Amino acid sequence: MTSTSVAAEMESVSELSVAQLPAKIHVIDSHTEGEPTRVVIDGWPQPQGATMAERSDDLRTRFDHLRRAVVCEPRGHDAIVGALLTPPVNPDSTTGVIFFNNGTYLGMCGHGAIGVVRTLQYLGRIQPGTIRLDTPVGTVSAELGHDGSVTIANVPSFCHARNVSVQVPGVGQVVGDIAWGGNWFFITHDTPIAVTAANAKELTRVTQAIQDALNAAGITGANGEAIDHIEISAAPIRPDADCKNFVLCSGGEYDRSPCGTGTSAKLAVLYARGEIALDARWRQESITGSLFTGWLTTNERGELIPHVRGTAYVTAEATLLFDEADPFRGGIPSA
Ligand code: PYC
């Protein structure tokens, strides 16, 4: 976003926020393998819709100012993924959840789902066992272990296209696979620069350039859906890992965890390439050195179901305040 459009957006945000921001929103913060999640517990009006996708659309249409106020600076920051809990849409589910970030809404979020489960446990609403969460892209199940680990059984995932080549200005030709893991991913074959935490800024620049080049070339997921996550795979550093990744998320920030939907997409690609068997364990290391363990099963329709295990920790319980006199109460849009 240019500085002029940020300024224009800030003006409209602050106009909107005068009338429409509640005085308080109660949130629980956690991190899953380093990646933060902010679960909204109350203070945010419920979206309308018979499906989670309709509710997500309603959030975008009527409550987008709340997204910015809750996750953007000065109350949040670019890496936070927000999660709004709703009543479930399926009778067997415990809750509905809509994930959002500094820029947009997500179909699913693996680290976020793990954070939601640990938050529900913290609130005393669930015990170890299996629950189901309704998301805009389908229902996922989540098993909370006695050791605090959470295993997500994600939405059906698949490899959409292999060996897709794109010319990236300033980088050169990049080849990768396109896969769905609850969000759309382009997963590179090569490592244009070393996947180390010290290179995070440069990795962000390069992955953003890849995303821009995919958009410019009209390369999409199925049904023309935008590819809004770029994943670079590299050899692991941890001796107990199979692969290390860097994932650029849809809001332009990178995932501190190995990315649950990104790990799911990676598993679908490995399977399509005949490089992993059903039930075989895959240990995905993140840019921060944290780890998810993943594996694949199939459902009754023969679709691939990725399972992703990780751990989240609650870091804060807070009441966000929106002082009417605060010029930044509507949040500062990300640059
Ligand atoms: O864990 O799926 C994930 C995720 C998506 C964006 C950030 N984290």
Closest residue by Cα to atom 8, ligand 1, is: 259
Residues in the chain: 335
- pLDDT greater than 80 at residue 15: no
Q: Name the residue of 81, 254, 311 whose CB sits within 8 Å of the most ligand 1 atoms, as the mutation to test its pocket.
A: 81
Residue 333 pLDDT: 82
Mean pLDDT over residues 34-44, rounded? 97
Q: Name the residue of 109, 137, 264, 284 whose CB sits within 8 Å of the most ligand 1 atoms, as the mutation to test its pocket.
A: 109
Mean pLDDT over residues 259-280, rounded? 98
Q: Is 256's C-beta closer than 6 angstroms to any atom of ligand 1?
A: no
The rounded Å distance from CA 260 to ligand 1 centre is 5
Q: Is 260's C-beta closer than 6 angstroms to any atom of ligand 1?
A: yes
CA distance 168 to 178: 16
- pLDDT greater than 80 at residue 276: yes
Q: Is 159's C-beta closer than 6 angstroms to any atom of ligand 1?
A: no
Reply yes or no on whether 72 is catalytic.
no
pTM of the model: 0.94
The rounded Å distance from CA 19 to ligand 1 centre is 32
Q: Name the residue of 30, 78, 106, 211 whose CB sits within 8 Å of the most ligand 1 atoms, as the mutation to test its pocket.
A: 106
* Predicted confidence band of residue 190 (pLDDT cuts 50, 70, 90): confident
Mean pLDDT over residues 37-46, rounded? 96
Mean per-residue pLDDT over the chain, rounded: 94
CA distance 307 to 155: 9
Reply yes or no on whether 159 is catalytic.
no
Mean pLDDT over residues 325-335, rounded? 89
* Predicted confidence band of residue 6 (pLDDT cuts 50, 70, 90): very low
The CB density around residue 88, as the number of other CB atoms within 10 Å, is 18
- pLDDT greater than 50 at residue 14: no
Structure confidence by residue, pLDDT tens digits, 85-98: 999 999 999 999 99
- pLDDT greater than 90 at residue 245: yes
Task: Pull the structure tokens for residue 18.
Answer: 């005068």
Q: Which residues contact 145 (CB under 8 A, 6 or more apart)?
A: 128, 151
Residue 335 pLDDT: 73
CA distance 155 to 70: 27
Residue 3 pLDDT: 42
- pLDDT greater than 70 at residue 2: no
Q: Give the phi and the psi of residue 59 in degrees, each rounded to 5.
A: -60, -45
Q: Please give the angle made by the CA atoms of 217, 183 and 314, to the nearest 5 degrees.
A: 140
Residue 7 pLDDT: 45
**Dihedral of the CA atoms 303, 286, 334, 222 (nearest 10)?**
-20
* Predicted confidence band of residue 20 (pLDDT cuts 50, 70, 90): confident
Structure confidence by residue, pLDDT tens digits, 200-241: 999 999 999 999 999 999 999 999 999 999 999 999 999 999
Q: Is 261's C-beta closer than 6 angstroms to any atom of ligand 1?
A: yes
Residue 201 pLDDT: 97
* Predicted confidence band of residue 292 (pLDDT cuts 50, 70, 90): very high
Residue 139 pLDDT: 98
Q: Is 71's C-beta closer than 6 angstroms to any atom of ligand 1?
A: no
pLDDT higher for 310 or 13?
A: 310
* Predicted confidence band of residue 12 (pLDDT cuts 50, 70, 90): very low
Structure confidence by residue, pLDDT tens digits, 137-172: 999 999 999 999 999 999 999 999 999 999 999 999
